[in-house]
Structure 1
Amino acid sequence: MTGAMTKVREGGSVRRKLILMAVSTTLAALVAASCAMLLVDLRAFQRYWTDDLMTQADIMARVTAPALAFNDEETARQNLAVLRVRPQILAAAIYTSNGTRFAGYLAPGATGSATRLPLRPQASGYRIEGSEIVVFRNIVENGDMVGTVYLRARYGLFDRLLSYGAILGAVMLGALAIAWLVASRLQEALTRPLEAVTSVARQVMQRRDYGLRVPGKESGEIGVLVDAFNEMLAEIGRRSDALQQANASLEVEMQVRQRAEGALIVADRRKDEFLATLAHELRNPLAPIRTGLDILRLRSGDAQATQRATDIMERQLRQMVRLVDDLLDVSRINTGKFTIKSGRVELKAVVNDALEVVRPYVDLHGHELQIDLPDRPVFLNGDATRLAQILSNLLNNAAKYTNRGGRVSLKATVEDRTLVVVVADTGIGIAPDMLNTVFEMFVQVDSTLERSTAGLGVGLSLARKLVELHGGTIEAHSAGLGHGSQFVVRLPIVVDPELPAKPTPAAFIGGETYRILLADDNVDFVNSIGALLTAMGHSVVITHNGPDALAAAKRFCPDYAFLDIGLPQMSGYDLARGIRGLSCGAMTVMIAVTGWGQEKDRQLAFEAGFDHHMVKPVRFEQIEEILGNRSLIKKLRT
């Protein structure tokens, strides 16, 4: 124990001596070095100031020489005013070669002797006057002295001594250099990882970047702290990513819901407008039909009034059928059950069919109708009926939205194997924001109450769908409200087609007569059709239920049978099968006459044995056309 204590005391004594020797040596060296450096610095300081002022004087001499030569005092004063950027220079002056002061300068805040400029210059050189230094410098131009520059500036010797005294005091404290070195090493080992943690934490707070990590691998407690901090950042990053993904999903879902809600609102509004318009459009033709019926009832003996009422009723009925057919066609297209019967079709025939439909409507509104078609025949590959429906819908739409007495035109041209049809009008036009939505279902360009023929907003939508089914496109153009509109249809044409055989019109059918069976529970309809067929010379049997119709077919052996599907006691499907089972039923042409017009209804009719499917209301021209095609039906059967 005593030996150990002795070693400790001896170690402590040596330690104190080493510390004292190091401090004494360092202190002596610092004092000697400080004195030497102070002397050297004072001489360098004096040399620096004198050289600087002499250089400044030379510069002023060079820039002021032209002003002296041209006796330009203002330029000389401006040159001296540049010395304002040197706050150490208190005063300056320019003297001419004869010793007269030419220009002077006093620094702002100059006091004492600096405010008194010498009346005459002195010999070139410098001198120190207390805390100021004075410089005179001759101005030489082309070897001749043209003047003298005078400068007076502060000579901060005392300030320099104070600054060096402060430095010396600081250097004296360097005796603690060993402690500082030890402290710096400890600081490097301990505080460097902590500073790295602080820096990363600051960046994470500023940038919200949880992918940052404290670099390096430390040991001991500091290493545990760094690892824990990095792991904490990783966990926060994972939770932040999960939260951001959840927020993004919520934002997307919110946007989808908002769009869906907006679409539902628009759809609901259009539905309401459509229902209101549908009721209006259906009531419009019903009113003249009812009036026509009153005319027929009250003035049945007046042939002219009867014919006029019949024409009105027929025209209004066609309008109602057109509305219903458009709705059914759109429904079939949307459900994928709509098909077109493609074949070679001549453009003029399509246009004529369309004009036959819309010309009465155009004439009714007093419009001027202009048609411009190519001189040579143009053939398309498509469904003639549907192609005519496209043009009739566009022409009908143009006439509908054109004020009375306007102009409606149809122009067709061929551009590089493409038929371009432009239907234009001088009507109300289309607003720019409606051009992209005018082809959507139930959208109407003008839904105001003042326009009595607003339509259902179905025609253009159906036209676009039919055009697309034929491999074409349709576009709407308008210069704005009140400037009319144009609809441009582009369809592919058939190059060098085989000329199709023209069908024989019903009006030119021969006078052959047939045995015809009519079965329908609508007494007025079936009796009126029977009367017309009887007037044409045909043998007609009329029944109003299924069993009577089947019994009549056994007895009558009809060439044609027009059968309603919804018959009492036996459906039209069962009746058709029963007739087909008769000995003479194989040669009977059976036509289903029904109000059901979906594709599945047509398929059921054909499966039951029907040859044709007609949708009520039936025009008599349709019956005439079927009667004229009996030979074709027989050929197809064989």
Structure 2
Amino acid sequence: MDILESDFQGSSQEGTRSTAEKSFHELTPQHLVVHDFVLMNRIHSIVTAFIQEVDISDILLEIIDTAMSISTADKGSILLVDEKTENLKITASRGFDAPFLDYFASCPPGEGACGTALQNNERVIIYNITEDPRFINTPYLAQLLAKEIHSVQATPLKSRTGKILGVLATYYKKPTLPEAHELQMVDLLSRLSADIIERNQLIAERAILIEKLREADKRKNEFLALLSHELRNPLAAISNSAVLLSYSSGECPTVKNVQAIINRQVTQITRLVDDLLDITRIIENKIQISLQKIDLNELVFRVVEDNRLSYERAGLSLIIQLAEGPVFIHGDALRIEQVINNLLHNASKFSNYGGMTQVVVEVDKKNNEAIIRVLDDGIGIAPSFIDQLFLPFTQADTSMERAQAGLGLGLALIKGLIELHHGSVHAVSAGLGHGAEFIIKLPLHEEDEHLFDQQAPAYQVALSRTILIIDDNADIRDSLSMLLETLGHQVYVESTGRAGIAKARETRPDFVLCDIGLPELNGYQVAKAFREDPILESTYLIAISGYVQPEEIIKAKQAGFDNHLAKPFNFDLLQDILVAKRLHEEKP
């Protein structure tokens, strides 16, 4: 990277430069190592803060503080490119008051140190602003001197694609020329900063896009709800007129046929209007269900008999097979009837004359579920379409010959209503021309709803385990230890990989929660050591880490970890892992 810097003029500049060099070179190699180690820790903390979704303003300030500490600068700032004006705007700063920030609110490309760095896409170092042509006879000079600033360093913030996102600047009260080693650290920090800033901008853009999509979806749902309501008025008028026609027409066959056509079409449109209203309510989480104890055998039998006449008129067979004895579920009878009606209506639409539909009620005692199967020998479903089947406004066939297919809301509505009952629905088909099967699963009614609560204390005691925590962060280590101990677990803690392995050999823990970024031995090496040790090889290892990229999770599994939790993790996830492991051990 090229460096733009003033020519040194006069012995005073040379003297200052020599002093700076002497001050830097007075650091012993040991001090340099410590200095770099501290800086790298600060850079690592910046990455961790971003992963943990700390406010971006605080992260930018930490970046500035780190940049200032690299070369002992007195002030610092981060200026980002305004996409509309293409000027630089101060986004974060240290050491400047409001009037100064207002004065430099917008910096055009090519002006001052930062504007020049932006325009030329290279670092700018101004050793002494009072002798540099880029500041002499400019309004910027007086403003900077008023803040006792004599030197400026400005490094472009480049994204991975080469786009300039902004500038990282440091300011000095004395004429200063940063050392090459310091500039290397600034480069490292600027690359990291550019990655963080670009990622944050993408997150912000994505959030805006998601909000726009939500708003558009909300307006769509509001429109559909309004449309559904508005359609009811003309439908009521048409329906009433059809009834009136039946009373005034006598026995005229033509009028009776017209009335039957009107009634069928009104019924069809009413069904579509109801589906529109219900699907918008489900999407907006506004639908209400009234739960009660229901005998599913009785309900399914009633719905099937209600549909039998329409099936016979269409030349279709309708068969029912019920489970033995009553099958009780906890549900909304009207909504379950609506679901079965929709499935039967769907089966009749896509079956040819002479076809058959079968409705089966079963009980799965092992999984404590009631099952409803609706099978037909109709046109079937293409395998590629199965995954889209339950999406709103989706149809498997949009050709003209399937004009009766409707809006594609029935199955989406079925899915929404069944999920409100804590159940599930899925479809199976061997392909086009081979019919389809729809399978609904609903929880059986619990006779004693307090049984689980009564057994909870004994279950909690049974889950007490020995757990070892290996983490060099004392706050994380201690807080997690206290939390686990409160739940009745026996907990041991260590801060390094070697100490953790030694403690594990001593205590034989059931679980080990291990950080990845450990001193001495990192988490991957710890996991490898466990798997190679005959005493520890079967220990359940859980990585707790700020490294959450898919490749990092894969790397942890390859190293020997059984599971991976991203910091800060949901404690319920950890409890689920502990419970699942215990239940697995207790299986015969």
Per the normalisation by structure 2, the TM-score is: 0.39
Bigger-Rg structure (1/2): 1
Per the normalisation by structure 1, the TM-score is: 0.36
